[in-house]
Amino acid sequence: MKSVVDGYAAIYDAGEQGRREQYRSLVNHYYDLVTDFYEFGWGQSFHFAPRRRGESFKASLLRHQHYLADRLALKPGMQVLDVGCGVGGPMGNLARYSGAGFVGINNNTYQIERAKHHTRDVGSRCRFIHGDYMRIPEDDDCYDAAFAIESMPHAPDKAGAFREILRVLRPGACFAGYEWCLTDDFDPENAEHQWIKNEIMVGDALPEIASMPEICDALRTAGFELLEATDRAPESDPGTPWYRALQGRDLTLSSIPRTPFGRALTNLTLRVGERLRLFPEGSRAVSTLLNAAADALVEGGRSGIFTPMFFFLARKPERPEG
Ligand SMILES: C[S@@+](CC[C@H](N)C(=O)[O-])C[C@H]1O[C@@H](n2cnc3c(N)ncnc32)[C@H](O)[C@@H]1O
């Protein structure tokens, strides 16, 4: 693990151009390192959600996923592409919810193994492709819908990624997603804003973070008709903002590792565990990286300069007549 930590750091330090060129290795190293930590601390769905008053964290994630399925009108008989499917949490839930058939594309081998495991009860309707969403190894016009939940922030070229999704959709089919974006409150001249943005990028393996208008432009440039685009973060109950789970303020067992006490305990456990060779060398560095990323995300949310839930719904135009 130590060599993967070093490999990740080296790519990251190569600057924006280097990160864009080596995006596959950057993302792969990152998810090799963090997948077990994410599953332990977050569950099988690696994304955020706006939370209603009194709603549990898990229930909010499921509702956020169902919202996409409803907007895409997913139903039995449809073939749906999940772009950057993670460990299959959302895909399994949507297969159970909608009855549609799903194909998940992901460039991380370990995550695909986990996804097969998590979707085994709906396995006949879930298939996986180990591949890069910048070059989807599928025919043109073969999907009835597609979605991307917080996976596009890793794309080195948004319009290029959207163009590839457009290609595999049938004419008239829709693509929906949640994107990580800077809001209009982000001020590039503000050093603190830049610091938060940079910490989010380093801690989450991102080449850059787009603004909301940039995402809309990239969808149109790729050839989509943009039907809707809106930030869902303001829908959160003010007492339970989307970043609350990162603050360890929920009174649940799984939130303990995110409290200051839990972080200190995890750090000590990993330090001793690494010495005794119970955990691979580098585990503590990964935990530290994730804690720094979590703090930056909280600051991004609290200051209002960042959202992880910019929702869009876009359609591939029908083929011109004649
Ligand atoms: C934040 S996770 C979200 C996963 C999943 N959508 C979910 O909500 O649980 C981002 C995912 O995008 C995948 N990913 C990033 N870049 C990719 C690429 N170029 N090709 C395929 N998958 C990619 C990562 O491996 C990871 O599974």
**Which atom of ligand 1 is the closest one to the Cα of 133?**
20
Cα(186) to centroid(ligand 1), Å: 25
pTM for the structure as a whole: 0.90
| Per-residue pLDDT, 250 | 65
**What is the rounded CA–CA span in Å between residue 29 and residue 24?**
9
Name the E strands within the chain.
79-83, 101-106, 126-130, 143-149, 169-182, 210-211, 225-231, 306-315
Say which residue, 26 or 138, is predicted with more confidence: 138
Element spanning 15, H or E: helix 15-21
CA angle 154, 213, 289 (to 5 degrees): 30
pLDDT at 4: 58
Average pLDDT (140-152) is: 97
Closest ligand 1 atom, CA of 149? 6
**Start-to-end CA span in the chain (Å):** 57
Own/partner contacts of 266-272, CB < 8 Å, gap of 24 or more, are none
Give the distance (Å) from ligand 1 centre to CA of residue 151: 4
Q: Which CATH superfamily is domain 62-186+208-237+307-315 in?
A: Vaccinia Virus protein VP39 (3.40.50.150)
Do the strands 79-83 and 143-149 form a parallel or antiparallel pair, or are they unpaired?
parallel
Mutating to test ligand 1, I would choose from 106, 116, 150 the residue with most ligand atoms within 8 A of its C-beta, which is 106
Q: How far is the CA of 19 from the centre of ligand 1 (A)?
A: 16
Measured by CA distance, the residue closest to atom 26 of ligand 1 is 86
What's the pLDDT score for residue 77? 97
Pocket test of ligand 1: the residue of 27, 34, 134, 208 to mutate, having most ligand atoms within 8 Å of its CB, is 27
- Ligand 1: which residue has its CA nearest to atom 16? 154
Tell me the domain boundaries of the chain: 2-43+238-302, 62-186+208-237+307-315
Q: How far is CA 275 from the centre of its chain?
A: 33
Cα(84) to ligand 1 centroid in Å equals 3
Strand partners, 143: 169
Q: Report pLDDT digits (tens) over 66-115.
A: 999 999 999 999 999 999 999 999 999 999 999 999 999 999 999 999 99
Q: Which pLDDT belongs to residue 31?
A: 81
Cβ 35 vs Cβ 109: under 8 Å: no
Identify the three-state secondary structure at position 286. Answer: helix
Distance 248 CA to ligand 1 centre (A): 24
Q: Which of 21, 55, 138, 150 is catalytic?
A: 150
User: Which tokens go with 162?
Assistant: 């959207």
Q: Phi, psi (5° rounding) for residue 227?
A: -90, -35
The answer to whether 90 touches 82, Cβ cutoff 8 Å, is yes
Is 55 a residue of the active site? no
* Alpha-carbon distances of 47 from 84, 121, 180, 186, rounded to whole Å: 12, 22, 10, 22
pLDDT in tens, 147-189: 999 999 999 999 999 999 999 999 999 999 999 999 999 999 9
Q: Which residue minimizes the CA distance to atom 4 of ligand 1? A: 86
Position of tokens 């959709």?
169
Rg (CA), the chain: 19
Which pLDDT belongs to residue 14?
66
- Gap from CA of 154 to ligand 1 centroid (Å): 8
Strands 306-315 and 225-231: antiparallel
Instruction: Let me know: does 41 contact 73? Beta carbons within 8 Å.
Output: no
Residue 164 has what pLDDT? 98
Look at residues 283, 240, 298 and name the one whose alpha carbon lies nearest to residue 55.
Answer: 240
The residue to mutate among 154, 157, 200, 201, having the most atoms of ligand 1 within 8 angstroms of its beta carbon, is 154
Ligand 1 nearest atom to the CA of residue 134, by list position: 19
Measured from CB, residues less than 6 Å from any atom of ligand 1 are 27, 31, 45-47, 84-86, 89-90, 105-108, 111, 132-134, 149-151, 154
Mean pLDDT of 237-256: 76
Contact 55, 240 (CB under 8 A): yes
Within 8 A by CB and 6+ apart from 269, the residues are: none
Q: What is the dihedral angle through the alpha carbons of 92, 97, 102, 106, rounded to the nearest 10 degrees?
A: -40
- Give the mean model confidence (pLDDT) for residues 43-66: 94
Distances (CA, A) of 255 to 26, 57, 244: 28, 10, 10
The per-residue pLDDT for 9 is 65
Band of pLDDT at residue 29, cut at 50, 70 and 90: confident
% pLDDT > 90, the chain: 67
Does an H or E element contain 31, and which? helix 23-41
Residue 190, pLDDT above cutoff 80? yes
Burial of 113 from C-beta contacts in 10 A (0-12 / 13-18 / 19+):
middle
DSSP character at residue 320: P
Q: For residue 265, report the distance from its CA to the centre of ligand 1, in Å.
A: 29
Residue 267 has pLDDT above 80, yes or no: no
pLDDT of residue 282: 65
- Mean pLDDT of the region 119-136: 96
At 274 the pLDDT is: 65
- For atom 23 of ligand 1, the residue with the nearest CA is 84
pLDDT at res. 322: 45
Predicted local confidence at residue 23, as pLDDT: 73
